[in-house]
Amino acid sequence: MTDRRLTPANARVAATALKGLVQDVTFTDGTAMTVTVPVADLLAAPGGARDRQLLYGEAVTVFEVTDGMAFVQAGKDGYVGYVLQDMLGESVVPTHRVSVLATHLYPQPELKCPEVMGLGFGARLRIVSASGAYFETDAGYFVPKPHIRPLNAPLADFVTVAQMHFGVPYLWGGNSNTGIDCSGLVQAGLIACGVDCPGDSDLQMAALGRDVAGGDVKRGDLFFFKGHVAIAVDAETLIHANAHHMAVAYEPLAEAISRIETQGEGPVLAQKRLDHGV
C-alpha cells in the first residue's frame, strides 16, 4: 500500500515518476514554486486537516491547482498535500536560512523601519547583496546579518536547535516558531544540521539512526512512542514538543516514559542513535 503522505497522486493527477504504479490520471512533471508567506499549512485535502507546515522560501512541486488550492510535494521531505495557491510564488533558489528563533524582513536596511513580515527558524532566503548590517534578499527586503546562515554551512548540534525552541507552543502538525509538534522539532533540528529527515514521527522512526538497547542514553538519542518522539538532552533529560505541557519542554526521562505509558500511549517503541548531527 502506498503512503498518501509521500505519494504525489490524487484522483486526477500524478507525478510522472509514478507511471505504471497508478492509473486513470494525468501524469505531469509539475511546476517548481516557492512558499511566499511565513508559514503555510500543508493540508491532507482541500479544506481538510493540517498535516504539516511549510516555511517561507521552501520549495514545492505543484502538480495541480483547483479552486485556489495547489496539490504539492514539499522539497524538504517529499510530504504531499494541499496549500493555498496564493501562498506560493515563482521558484527561487535560496542561499541562506534563518538560524535564530525569529527575525524580521525590512523594506530598507534600517531598524526603525516598520517590518514587512516576521520569519522563524528555518525560513529560507536568497541573498543578492549586502548593505551595512543587513543582507538584501531577491525580493528587495533586508534581514539582519547575524540572523541568517548560508545553506552550505549547516549547524553542528541538532539538540541545541531543539533547545532554542524551548517554550514554543505545541501545535499539532506545526513546523514553526509560533507552533511546533514533536516531529516538527526533530525535523527542524536535523535539517538545520544537514541531515535529511521525514516529517512525521513514524516515518522518522523508520528512517533515522540505529537501535540502541541496554539503558545506555546519550545526548541526541531519539525516543519513539506511538505517535510521539522526544530527544535526549543528556542521560536523564528529554526535550520534546508535547501536549502535556502544550509547549516544547524539558522533562526527566524516567518520568516522561512513565507518564506517557500511564496515559495509555504505550511504552518506548524504539531508541535510535544518530551518528551525525549531534
Q: pLDDT of 202-250, one tens digit each?
A: 999 999 999 998 889 999 999 999 999 999 999 999 999 999 999 999 9
What is this structure's pTM? 0.96
Residue 1 lies in a domain: no
Closest CA relative to residue 229, chosen from 218, 240, 216? 240
pLDDT in tens, 95-112: 999 999 999 999 999 999
Structure-block grid coordinates of residue 194: 544537514
Task: Please check whether residue 257 lies inside any domain of the structure.
Answer: yes
Verify that 77 and 105 share a domain, yes or no. no
Are 174 and 250 found together in one domain?
Answer: yes
Q: Which uninterrupted H or E stretch holds 257?
A: helix 253-260
Q: What is the pLDDT of residue 276?
A: 67
List the beta bridge partners of residue 13. 26
What domain range includes position 140?
Answer: 96-150
Look at residue 7 and tell me if it is in a domain: no
DSSP strand pairing (270-273 vs 31-35): unpaired
Residue 127, pLDDT > 70, answer: yes
Of the CA atoms within 13 Å of residue 190, those in its CB half-sphere come to 25
- Bridge partners of 70, per DSSP, are 65, 83
Asked if residue 195 and residue 220 are part of one domain, the reply reads yes
134 with 163, same domain: the answer is: no
**pLDDT of the residue at 214:** 81
Residues 217 and 179 in one domain: yes
The answer to whether residues 242 and 260 touch, using CB atoms and an 8 Å cutoff, is no
Containing 202, the helix (H) or strand (E) segment is helix 201-207
- CATH code, domain with 27: 2.30.30.40
> Are residue 215 and residue 201 in the same domain, yes or no?
yes
**pLDDT of 197:** 98
Are 209 and 253 part of one and the same domain? yes
What is the residue-averaged pLDDT of the chain?
Answer: 97
Q: Is the pLDDT of residue 2 over 90?
A: no
194 & 230 share domain: yes
Please tell me whether residues 168 and 260 are part of one structural domain: yes
Is 1 a residue whose pLDDT tops 80? no
Of 90, 110, 130, the last residue of a domain is: 90
Alpha-carbon distance values, 152 to 155, 201, 203 (Å):
10, 26, 26
Residues 140, 238 within the same domain: no
**pLDDT tens readout for residues 52-94:** 999 999 999 999 999 999 999 999 999 999 999 999 999 999 9
Which pLDDT score is estimated for 213? 84
The whole-number pLDDT of residue 110 equals 96
Residue 208 belongs to some domain of the structure:
yes
Count CB-CB contacts under 10 A for residue 8. Answer: 24
Confidence (pLDDT) at 262: 93
Task: Establish if 184 belongs to a structural domain.
Answer: yes
* Residue 277 confidence (pLDDT) above 60: no
Looking at residue 278, its pLDDT comes to: 59
Amino acid in position 222: L
Please tell me the total count of domains within the chain: 3
| Domain final position from 90, 111, 142 | 90
The CATH number of residue 182's host domain is 3.90.1720.10
Same domain, 77 and 169: no
